Structure 1
Amino acid sequence: MDGLGVMAVRINADMTQVEFAEKLRVSPALISLVESGRRTVTEELQVRIAQAFGTGPDVIQAIERARDSKKLAL
């Protein structure tokens, strides 16, 4: 998972960066840095996201839509 995937999960959950960070028990600054690509998504953060939001089809589809959208924007 990359920053775009993290953003897709957050947007799919209809949460702000602050709300998302609180749910994951991390700082909002970390979420901002990850989403902007200035920090990598650690294994620990991936586990927290999976525990909080699951890995169901809706989450996977949100990530895929975000990636497709980015490709179209290029």
Structure 2
Amino acid sequence: MDGLAIQALRYERGMSQVELARAIGISQPRLSEMETGLVPVTLRVRIRVAQVFNINDEAIEMIRRVKKAEQVVF
């Protein structure tokens, strides 16, 4: 799971960065850095995001691939 997938999940669920950051136990600025790719997403954060959104790694990976494909400009 990368930051793009986390951001997509957050948007899909209508959560703000502040709300998700609180739910997973990190600061909002750190979540922002992860979503924008400035810092890597830690294993702890991956686990907590999956728990908060009640999804597994396969679903997260699918979301990441779709979002990445949407960014491709032809």
* TM-score grouping bracket, smaller chain normalisation: 0.7 to 0.9
Other-structure match for 2:49: 49
What TM-score results when the alignment is normalised by the length of structure 2?
Answer: 0.79
Say whether 1:31 aligns with 2:31.
Answer: yes
Say whether 1:21 aligns with 2:21.
Answer: yes
Gaps of 5+ in 1: none
What TM-score results when the alignment is normalised by the length of structure 1?
Answer: 0.79
Q: Quote how far apart the aligned CAs of 1:62 are.
A: 4.2
Counterpart residue type for residue 69 of structure 1: E
**Following the alignment from structure 2 to structure 1, what is the Cα–Cα distance between the partners of residues 70 and 52?**
25
Other-structure match for 1:12: 12
**Following the alignment from structure 1 to structure 2, what is the Cα–Cα distance between the partners of residues 13 and 68?**
20
Other-structure match for 2:72: 71
**Following the alignment from structure 1 to structure 2, what is the Cα–Cα distance between the partners of residues 38 and 65?**
21
Identity %: 31
| Preserved contact between residue 2 and residue 64 of structure 2 (Cα < 8 Å) | no
Q: Quote how far apart the aligned CAs of 1:9 are.
A: 1.2
Q: Give the SS at the match of 1:66.
A: helix
**Following the alignment from structure 1 to structure 2, what is the Cα–Cα distance between the partners of residues 36 and 5?**
11
Give the ranges of 4+ consecutive aligned residues of structure 1 lying more than 2 Å apart after TM superposition: 59-65
Counterpart residue type for residue 10 of structure 2: R
The CA RMSD measured in Å over matched residues stands at 1.9
